[in-house]
Homo-oligomer: A and B are copies of this chain.
Amino acid sequence: MNIKRYMIKDTSENILSKLDPSERGDFHSKEEAAAKMEKLKERLAELQDILFAQKKHSLLVILQGMDSSGKDGTVKHIFSGINPQGFIVTSFKKPSLEEEAHDFLWRVHMKTPPKGYIAAFNRSHYEDVLVPRVHGSLKKDDMKRRFRYIRQFEEMLVEEGTTVIKLFLHISKEKQLEKIQERLQDPTKHWKFDASDLQEREYWDDYQKAYEDVFRETGTEQAPWYWIPANHRWYRNYLALSIVVKTLEGLDLSYPKLNSPTPDISELISPRH
């Protein structure tokens, strides 16, 4: 799996319209991916164990995407096998009054992973540039400033030991409608339905443009954006998990050694009586 193929490097206008949300790599079916998925999950658990023991690095996975693009599902599927003790997931909703009274990075900084941990952000500080861009609630200069803060903030995190990857879950407008219908028809999914999703759907094209701005302004070598074709849930999960695993494999992870010479414990285990 060459994940680099999904790194967003071309940030020209309308780039998203050229990326196929129904792509499914070299797979012909979901079943074909299932076995590989299990292996990847095991590998993730192994890597996380070393990450946690070594306490040298941390990993931040930022999930963004249109409503119904599958952010919750991705978190659920790719991180279900890992040790919850070393994992923090935060869903960022509409800011509270307290959060709004601070700079927009305040609540986000608080939830960044300490060394040894993996953190997932389900939505993030990117909402604070996407929404104003679409609804025109910030002046151009203020937008620019926010982009600069984000670059500097993420650069600081990276330089201080946090690996940052940003996943854009890319679905088609048709697929979104399909999923909204599912939410309306399936009683186990009613709770996910939010009428405001339908309102925001009317701004579909503006959001696509806003995301293109985001990629252009904040896609750095140190904290890259990946696009994840997300029309097929299974491929979305497979690819997102692959990117997480490959990224962890790129770190110099190893179990820490004993500080002192190995003590002789034979005395402790020999019979005393």
Tell me the A residues contacting B by CB distance below 8 Å. 55, 98, 101-106, 109-110, 112, 114-117, 145, 149, 152, 156-157, 159-162
Partner of A55, one of B55, B101, B159: B101
Are B105 and A112 in contact, CB atoms less than 8 angstroms apart?
A: no
Copies assembled: 2
Q: How far is the CA of A114 from the CA of B97 in the complex (A)?
A: 10
Closest residue of chain B to A97 (Cβ to Cβ) is B114
Q: List 12 A-B contacts (CB under 8 A).
A: A101-B115, A102-B114, A103-B112, A103-B156, A103-B161, A105-B156, A106-B109, A106-B110, A106-B112, A149-B156, A152-B152, A152-B156
* Min C-beta distance of A220 to chain B, whole Å: 15
Given A102-B115, A104-B160, 4 further pairs, Cβ under 8 A: A101-B117, A103-B156, A110-B110, A149-B156
Q: Which residues on B sit within 8 Å (CB–CB) of A117?
A: 101
Q: How far is the CA of A157 from the CA of B106 in the complex (A)?
A: 10
Q: Which residues on B sit within 8 Å (CB–CB) of A55?
A: 101
